[in-house]
Chains A and B, each alone.
Chain A
Amino acid sequence: MQELINRAKQLLSDGTVARVLGWKAGDMTYNPEPAFFDNVKDLEEHFVYNGFCGANLSKYMIEASKLEGKTLVCLKPCDTYSFQQLLKEHRVDREKAYIIGVGCKGKLNIENIRKAGIKGILSVSGAELSDACDQLTITTLYGDKSLPYADAMLERCSVCKGKEHKIYDELLGDSKETKSADRFAEVERIENMSAEEKFAFFQSQLSKCIRCNACRNVCPACSCRKCVFDSTKFDSSQKANADSFEEKMFHIIRAFHVAGRCTDCGECSRVCPQGIPLHLFNRKFIKDINELYGEYQAGADIEAKAPLTSYVFEDVEPSVVAQRSRS
């Protein structure tokens, strides 16, 4: 982390960049938040980068691209996919960004630590990038506790796309492979359910939704200036009107709007205050696109044709859904 701060200070002082986009310490060690730094003093005092810095900073670059001067942005390997996707859509300006590709050893979810029965958390150590990231030591009101790093990781890190940065100006810090599962396993499990079971599963998940719009606001692909969910002409903008259908419509439309552009960065699920596995919607679209229109990873290749803005004459007919359905 010190290495990163030093490099940022250097670039800020010599005028290469006008500001630094990174993470600043929150009120607890486990909740750092995205922040802009425009002076060396702030950087020294508040900049952090550790296992809890899960936030994907690429979306902030849309606004930063409109500012005077370059912005230094710290991107983890998975964030570079989002940045490249935004670049492809002309939402960010490559000339305005100085990208430091930061290493990643998997990001943590404090809820997983709480779920492991650890209460009264004061601080967590063992999550610095320089650490081995095998074991966490958690200081609590009731003494020190220990938890394997992998048990506290975000779901998205166990299905990591790889630790290769797709776009960067320089690289800093080591990474460690964290992939241990197939990202479509859960989608497949749901596909194999009967229609009643599927419906019951999604109803139980989506009825937790409080329509806070956090999943929409955090999504790097979801960056329209005018959003259908803000339009007063649709019932779906009115939280008070929310009923069982609205919940589903909101989530289907949210996922559909980013279909073919979603890089599967997992931010939607990370920020959901209700713990809804929102990535299951996005991954269903990704899985269908891969199976029906060929393998496609959004953000991996800036030249590749997006699946929903291209076609071939021989595409499958929509009736394929009934043939493929297992319910």
Chain B
Amino acid sequence: MPMNNDTEFRPKIVAFCCNWCSYAGADLAGSSRLAYPADVKIIRVPCSCRVNPMFILRAFEKGADGVIMCGCHPGDCHYTSGNFYARRRMTLLFSMLDYIGVENGRTRVEWVSAAEGVKFSQTMNEFVAKIHSLGKNVRLEDLRCKN
């Protein structure tokens, strides 16, 4: 059956990127002309530690199909230790989401430095492919906000 472009599934993906590493990594990916899907919407945060577990849940509530958080590599945090705290928090949150029955592929954490434009675009391509295979997120959406 021919694929109709109008109804093709376009996932909504929210990426929280830390200002100092991953956002610069995304910038490098852009200026190096490395392609990654436009489905990824980047939200810049001062540090990965700024990402409140509520942000992730709110993203899902508002209709995101996948949420990815990117930060500096452990040990490279601009604020010395922010990403260490974020790492523990996200581990527990993702484990809880898995526990209540949300596919664990919909959430991801990746450490991307400012020099890793290639890694950024690869990660995003992989993640979008993964969400494509999982399909639309019907588990955590806010029904009233869907059009």
Residues in chain A within 8 A of chain B (CB atoms):
190-191, 195-202, 228, 235, 241, 243-246, 248-249, 252-253, 255-256, 259, 281, 284-285, 288-289, 292-293, 307-309, 311-313, 315-322, 324-325, 327
Q: What are the residues of chain B within 8 A of A249 when measuring CB–CB?
A: 54, 57-58, 61
Contact with A along B73-102 (1 / 0, CB 8 A): 011000001001101111111111111111
Using known A-B contacts A228-B54, A313-B75, determine if residue A195 contacts B101 with beta carbons closer than 8 Å. Answer: yes
Known pairs A256-B96, A324-B95, A327-B101; A245 contacts B61 (CB<8 A):
yes
Chain B nearest CB from A216 CB (Å) reads 15
Can you report 24 residue pairs joining A to B where beta carbons are below 8 Å apart? Answer: A195-B101, A197-B101, A199-B100, A202-B101, A235-B61, A245-B60, A245-B61, A245-B140, A246-B142, A249-B57, A256-B53, A256-B92, A284-B99, A288-B92, A292-B91, A311-B85, A313-B75, A315-B91, A317-B91, A317-B109, A321-B95, A321-B98, A321-B104, A325-B98
Q: What are the residues of chain B within 8 A of A285 when measuring CB–CB?
A: 92, 96
- Chain B residues contacting A190 (CB-CB under 8 Å) are 99
Cα–Cα distance between A260 and B16 once the two chains are bound (Å): 25
A202 to B, closest residue via Cβ: B100
Chain A hits for B95, CB < 8 A? 284, 288, 321, 324
Q: Which residues of A contact B53 (CB under 8 A)?
A: 252-253, 256
Given A318-B87, A319-B109, A321-B91, does the pair A198, B142 have CB atoms closer than 8 Å?
A: no
A281 touches B96 (CB 8 A): yes
Asked if B132 is at the interface of the complex by the 8 Å CB criterion, the answer is: no
Q: In the complex the two chains form, is B91's CB within 8 Å of A316's CB?
A: yes
Known A-B contacts A253-B57, A322-B105, A327-B98; the reply to A199 vs B90 at CB < 8 A is: no
Most buried by A among B96, B97, B144: B96
- Cβ of B107: which chain A residues have Cβ within 8 Å of it? 318, 321
Produce 1/0 per residue, B41-70, CB < 8 A to A.
000000000000110011011000000000
Closest beta carbon of chain A to B5's beta carbon, Å? 30
Query: Who on chain B is nearest to A205 by CB?
Result: B100
Chain A residues with Cβ below 8 Å from B88 are 293, 307-308, 311, 315
Please tell me if the beta carbons of B143 and A243 are within 8 angstroms of each other in the complex. Answer: yes
Residues of the A chain whose Cβ atoms lie less than 8 Å from the Cβ of B100: 198-199, 202, 248, 252
Residues A195 and B92 in contact in the complex (CB < 8 Å), given A245-B142, A249-B57, A311-B84: no
What residues of A have a CB within 8 angstroms of the CB of B92 in the complex? 256, 259, 285, 288-289, 308
Closest to A243 in B: B143
Judge whether B140 and A318 touch: CB under 8 Å: no
* Closest Cβ neighbor of B57 among chain A residues: A249
Which A residue sits closest to B90, measured CB to CB? A318
B57 touches A199 (CB 8 A): no
Q: Give the contacting residue for B57; candidates A252, A255, A259; CB below 8 A.
A: A252
A307 to chain B, nearest CB (A): 7
Could you tell me the distance between the alpha carbons of A228 and B58 in the complex, rounded to whole angstroms?
Answer: 13
> How far, in whole Å, are A282 and B104 apart by their CA atoms in the complex?
19
In angstroms, how far is the closest chain B Cβ from the Cβ of A281? 7
User: With the chains together, A6 CA to B44 CA distance in Å?
Assistant: 63
A288 cross-chain contacts in B, Cβ below 8 A: 91-92, 95-96
Cβ of A322 and Cβ of B91 under 8 Å apart? no
The interface residues of chain A lying within 8 Å CB-to-CB of B96 are 252, 255-256, 281, 284-285, 288
Given known A256-B53, A289-B92, contact A200–B75 (CB-CB < 8 A): no
Q: Would you call B103 an interface residue if the criterion is a C-beta within 8 Å of the partner chain's C-beta atoms? A: yes
Across the interface, name the chain B residue whose C-beta is closest to A293: B88
Contacts of A319 in B (CB 8 A): 108-109
Known: A256-B92, A281-B96, A311-B85. 12 other contacts (CB 8 A): A197-B101, A199-B101, A245-B142, A248-B100, A253-B53, A253-B54, A256-B93, A288-B92, A317-B109, A318-B87, A318-B90, A320-B91
Q: Report the nearest B residue to A316, measured CB to CB.
A: B91
Chain A residues lying within 8 Å of B99, measured Cβ to Cβ, are 190-191, 198, 284
Chain B residues whose CB sits within 8 angstroms of the CB of A244 once the complex forms: 143
> Residue-by-residue, is B104-147 near A (CB-CB < 8 Å gives 1, otherwise 0)?
11011100000000000000000000000000000111111000
Partner of A318, one of B57, B84, B109: B109
Smallest CB separation, B94 vs chain A (Å): 4
Chain A residues lying within 8 Å of B105, measured Cβ to Cβ, are 322
